[in-house]
Amino acid sequence: MELELKKRKLACCERILDTTLAHEETMEMIVPDACPDILRIIDTEGKVLIRGKDTQDGRAEITGTVKTCVLYVPDGERGIRRLEMSIPFTCVLENRDLTQTTSLVVRPCLQAIETRLLNPRKVLARANILLCVCAYRPMEMELCSDVEGTEAKSLEILRETQTAYLVLSVKDKDFTFVDELNISSAKPGVEEILRTHVSLSSGDAKVIGNKLVFKGIANVEILYRSTAGDMTSGKYELPFSQILESEGAGEDAVCDIILMLSGAEFQIGGESSPNENHIVTVTLNLKSQAVISENLPLDMITDLYSTVYELSADLQPLALPSLIEKTVHRQTLRETVETGVLTRSVLDAAVGMGETTQTREGTMVTLSAEATVTAVYMAEDNELYEVSRRTPASCRIEAPETSRVWAMASCPGEIFATPSASGIELRFSVDFEILVTGGSKTACIRDVRMNTASPKDLSGSPSVVLRMAGGQERLWDIAKKYNTTVKDIMTANELAESEGLPEGRLLLIPKKR
């Protein structure tokens, strides 16, 4: 007969893929008729805006645009002009494990962007985009936790509690965030916004009931021409918070919030004062991606046998992931970039991070990434120029040889840039976000069949057995082998429950009656 098993079903997600997609996109653009010819390109700035994430069987497609702003010196005019363009892109990822139910978590990064002058009326822009993609597939874990029925009284059951670090759900939410930048009244107002930077960082995240509440900060930098005619920059922190649905997670859950832009608009003036040039209204369209994980104790039956009847059991293999380390390593970098001319002031600076690579030597893992630093500065001749430098960043961590290391480098903080005798001195931080996971394999009872029609014939079994325990044996293994119980062995050998299997001791193994 088949015994009735009490089972627990646990909905979770399996991380089936993490990879980095490097994509290059180019686009030519004609200077609009209303704009003057280009004499010299100063600088190019871009934002990666993710529009969509679509998964199908064996394939994923990520679409977006690079919103690009080119600053240039016009031919025959004084001052600076800006040229805007949107560079569309599509990245395709093929993998047989992808399905329509797969959830994608995307971390976009603009590694580098540059514009080349083809002629005074045409430019060629090239954007190097990095997309760090993690894919999660929904799955259901079924665990046997008990056996029911009168026949279960003849069973010896091994119940174990294993801890697993499980991704419980992956949630997405689109939202719009609007705030105002207030320019100090001691400064001239904003005449024209020339370029902007937006970097997003997540803060505290907490599960409360069936809701996930998280905070974030949009770090905004603007470079603008003031009403007095000079170039001015400003930096602002714009805090925000959001709520997502989060059923099934406990208050001890670990919530990773990944934010990305899908739109960004800057407008001079405020809602109540549209003509006020000391206010800039910022409208950000954001996509929040939440990966909710938790260390969960899993109670399960991993083995059983009957001392009375013949029994057969089917085992379900389980791979249980474990969290070894989740941390952020910060590296502070200092670089002096030679400009060739005397620098009067630095108006703007940005950092683009390249792909994070890793090399392993035993238990030591070296993480490396290349940072591309760009600065816009005013020289002593009152002209604007741009300079860039690539600089490596790395850190070393210790991780077990069988572990899996995921890492991504970013530059989330402020970039400090000051003129020096030989050029520009830059100081910034690179954060290596690191996740180290391990895993163990076990087996859980799936179903059990017991032949109650014919009890075991134990007439030829000895009444008592004397033997030495092996080094890797458990009391459970010995009891099962000799068709007795752990309790009977402990009683016969006067062993306490807190004691383990005594090494080098002769055990008395009684016959089950």
Here the tokens at position 280 are 């800039």
Q: How far is the C-alpha of 384 from the C-alpha of 40, rounded, in Å?
A: 10
Tell me: pLDDT of 150 over 70: no
Indicate the pLDDT class of residue 340, thresholds 50, 70 and 90. Answer: confident
Per-residue pLDDT tens digits for 456-471 = 887 777 888 888 877 6
Nearest residue to 390 (alpha-carbon basis) of 416, 355, 418: 355
Q: How far is the C-alpha of 64 from the C-alpha of 243, rounded, in Å?
A: 25
Q: How far is the C-alpha of 92 from the C-alpha of 90, rounded, in Å?
A: 7
Assess contact for 13 and 101: CB atoms under 8 A.
Answer: no
Indicate the pLDDT class of residue 310, thresholds 50, 70 and 90. Answer: confident
* Neighbouring C-beta atoms of residue 13, cutoff 10 Å: 20
Here the tokens at position 358 are 């890793």
Per-residue pLDDT tens digits for 291-304 = 999 999 999 999 99
Per-residue pLDDT tens digits for 85-103 = 999 999 999 999 999 999 9
Per-residue pLDDT tens digits for 262-272 = 999 999 998 87
Q: How far is the C-alpha of 357 from the C-alpha of 368, rounded, in Å?
A: 5
Q: How far is the C-alpha of 484 from the C-alpha of 492, rounded, in Å?
A: 12
What would the mean pLDDT of 174-186 be, rounded to a whole number? 92
Tell me: pLDDT of 21 over 90: yes
* Neighbouring C-beta atoms of residue 72, cutoff 10 Å: 24
pTM for this structure?
0.86
Looking only at Cα atoms, what is the longest distance across the chain?
110
Dihedral (Cα; 454, 457, 463, 465), 10-degree rounding: -100
Per-residue pLDDT tens digits for 369-385 = 999 999 999 998 888 89
What sign results for the dihedral spanned by CA atoms 72, 78, 79, 82? Answer: negative
In this prediction, residue 450 carries a pLDDT of: 85
The CATH fold assigned to 460-513 is: Membrane-bound Lytic Murein Transglycosylase D; Chain A (3.10.350)
Per-residue pLDDT tens digits for 410-450 = 988 788 999 988 899 999 999 999 999 998 889 999 988 88
Nearest residue to 168 (alpha-carbon basis) of 261, 103, 85, 92: 103
Q: How far is the C-alpha of 102 from the C-alpha of 56, rounded, in Å?
A: 8
- Taking each continuous run of H as one helix and of E as one strand, the counts in the chain are 2, 22
CA distances from 173 to 34, 132, 242, 262 (A): 40, 19, 9, 12
CA distances from 209 to 10, 13, 79 (A): 18, 20, 57
Assess contact for 497 and 487: CB atoms under 8 A.
Answer: no
Q: How far is the C-alpha of 126 from the C-alpha of 88, rounded, in Å?
A: 11
What would the mean pLDDT of 284-290 be, rounded to a whole number? 95
Assess contact for 280 and 267: CB atoms under 8 A.
Answer: yes
Here the tokens at position 62 are 């990520």
Assess contact for 71 and 43: CB atoms under 8 A.
Answer: yes
Taking the domains of the chain in order of start, what are their residue ranges?
15-148, 170-295, 308-456, 460-513
DSSP track, 466-507: EEEPPTT--HHHHHHHTT--HHHHHHHTT--TT--PPTT-EE
* Neighbouring C-beta atoms of residue 505, cutoff 10 Å: 11
Q: How far is the C-alpha of 6 from the C-alpha of 298, rounded, in Å?
A: 14
In this prediction, residue 356 carries a pLDDT of: 94
Instruction: Tell me which H or E stretch contains 118.
Output: strand 103-119
**Which stretches of 230-278 are assigned E, i.e. beta strand?**
231-245, 254-268
